[in-house]
Amino acid sequence: MINARWFKIGFLLMLLLISSSARSGESVDKLLKRLEQTTHAIHDFEADFEQIEFNPILNRQKKSAGRIYSLSEGKIFWHTTKPTVFKVISNGTDIWLYYPHDQQLFHEKWGALDSQTKLALLFLRREEHLDKYFSMKWRNRAKQTIELLPKQALGVEKIWMTVTPKNIFLKKLIFFFPLGRKTELILKNVKLNQNLWKKHQSRPLDQNISQAFTFKTGTMKKTQNQK
């Protein structure tokens, strides 16, 4: 089974990534409208990411880093490079999770995903409005941090979203889960509308991605295929 929590983090990020900075005295509702308008104007983006997972029960902190690519029609390449390589590829209908070190490949159809994950996908596909699923308020207006509280079960208790003061990009997301667990995501070096699909056609974003944006297995041993 594909980890639903990972999807909530990843796909919520895809929508919240392109967020407008808050003007002085601006309400959360107005900021949300500008966020959605900006998001719909984005054809693709790429960004470096740092992720920190905190688990107070196990007294453990896990750090990872890599790069995210989001193209049109739900195509995504999430490439974790540290501490170990992990690749997630989606063409909008199928998704592949690949662990090169262990030569493990997991394949799933979007339609077979759990309901919580499907709900998270709505953010990526921009088919719904954020305020349909979250109530929002300022967490810290001076630091431009907004608190999002889910209106229905999403597996996440709340999200803190911080935007940069001088441009339109997301600075940080913190996801709070039950039992005190939380995940922090930081984006850097964001690039918008780079014609990634055209670039991919001439030179694939990764050796494991075909021109049609499916997983290119080659001689790799496929250890599991969920359908």
Across 19-23, 102-106, 140-144, the highest mean pLDDT is recorded for 102-106
What pLDDT shows up at residue 206? Answer: 94
Q: Are 182 and 174 in contact (CB under 8 A)?
A: yes
Q: Which of the pair, 124 or 154, is modelled with greater confidence?
A: 154
Statement: residue 225 has pLDDT above 70: no
- Domain tally for the chain? 1
Instruction: Evaluate whether residue 219 is within a structural domain.
Output: no
pLDDT interval class at 109 (50, 70, 90): confident
Statement: residue 63 has pLDDT above 90: yes
- Assign residue 13 the CATH number of its domain: 2.50.20.10
What pLDDT shows up at residue 145? Answer: 87
* Weakest mean pLDDT among 7-16, 50-59, 106-115, 216-225: 7-16
Statement: residue 4 has pLDDT above 50: no
Helices (H), the chain: 4-16, 28-40, 115-125, 196-202
Instruction: Evaluate whether residue 76 is within a structural domain.
Output: yes
pLDDT interval class at 226 (50, 70, 90): very low
Instruction: Evaluate whether residue 213 is within a structural domain.
Output: no
Q: Are 159 and 12 in contact (CB under 8 A)?
A: yes
Query: How many CA atoms lie less than 13 Å away from 64 in the CB half-sphere?
Result: 18
Instruction: Evaluate whether residue 117 is within a structural domain.
Output: yes
Statement: residue 217 has pLDDT above 90: no
Task: Determine the 3-state secondary structure of 224 from DSSP.
Answer: coil
Instruction: Evaluate whether residue 48 is within a structural domain.
Output: yes
What pLDDT shows up at residue 221? Answer: 54
Parent domain of 71? 4-202
Statement: residue 24 has pLDDT above 60: no
- pLDDT tens digits, 143-182: 878 898 988 776 788 989 887 766 556 788 888 988 999 9
